[in-house]
Structure 1
Amino acid sequence: MPIVVIHKNGEAHRGEVKDDTNLVVRAGIKQFPFPYLAYKCGMGKCATCASRIIGGAEHLPPPNWKEKKQLGDRLDEGYRLVCQLWIKHDIELVQD
C-alpha cells in the first residue's frame, strides 16, 4: 500500500493509504490525511489542493486539462492538483 507524506507548516505527516486512493476523497471522509490536506471543491476548479510533489512524481500520469488550466506555469515547478490524482505509489508532497 502506498505511503503518503504531506509537509505542511513545518511538520511532516505520514500515513498509508489503499492502492488507487484519491487523497481529497479520503480527507473528505475524515481519513488520512485529514486535517492536514487543504482542499475545497475536489473537482479541479478551485486549486486549493495544489501541492508541490517532491517525491514519486515519476509514477503520476501527465497533468490533465484541469491541472493545465488551474496551474499553468506552476506545473513546471512540480505542482499538481491532488484532487485529480489517484495514488498507486508512494508520494511526498508539500502544501504551502
Structure 2
Amino acid sequence: MPVVVFHRNGEAYRGEVKENTNLVVRAGIKQFPFPHLRYECGMGKCARCACRVLSGGDQLPPPNWKEKKQLGERLEAGYRLACQLWIEHDIELEQDELPVEA
C-alpha cells in the first residue's frame, strides 16, 4: 500500500492508504489519518487543497486541465491539487500554512 507523508504547520504525518486513494475524498468521509489537510470543494475549482509535491511526483500523471487552470505557474514549483490526485505510489506532500490563492 502507498505511504503518504503529509507536512503542514511544521508537523509531519505519515500513513498508508489503499491504492487509488483520493486524499480529499478520504478526509471528507473522515477516513483519512491526516486531519490537517485543507480542502473545500473537492472538484478542482477552489485550489484550497493545493500541495507541493516533495517526492513521488514522478509517479503522478500529468496535471489535468483543472490543475493547469487553478495552479498556472505554480505547477512548475511542484504544486498539485490533492483533490485531483489518485494515489497509487508513495508520495510526500506539503501544504502551506496559508491558503494558496489562484
1:52 aligned onto 2:72: no
Shift of 1:34: 4.0
Q: What are the Cα deviations for residues 29-54 of structure 1, in whole angstroms up to 9, with x where unaligned? A: 11224422100000000000000000
Q: Distance in 2 between matches of 1:32 and 1:16?
A: 9
Q: Distance in 2 between matches of 1:45 and 1:56?
A: 24
Kept after mapping to 1: 8 A contact 2:2/2:19: yes
- 1:40 maps to a residue whose letter is E
- 1:69 maps to a residue whose letter is K
Secondary structure in 2 matching 1:92: strand
Give 1:36's aligned residue: 36
Secondary structure in 1 matching 2:15: strand
Ranges in structure 2 where 5+ consecutive residues have no aligned partner: 97-102
Given the two structures, how large is their TM-score scaled by the length of structure 2? 0.92
Identity of aligned residues (%): 76
Secondary structure in 1 matching 2:76: helix
Secondary structure in 2 matching 1:76: helix
Give 2:100's aligned residue: none
- 2:74 maps to a residue whose letter is R
Q: Distance in 1 between matches of 2:58 and 2:33?
A: 21
Give 2:78's aligned residue: 78
Kept after mapping to 2: 8 A contact 1:26/1:34: no
Q: Distance in 2 between matches of 1:5 and 1:17?
A: 11
Given the two structures, how large is their TM-score scaled by the length of structure 1? 0.97
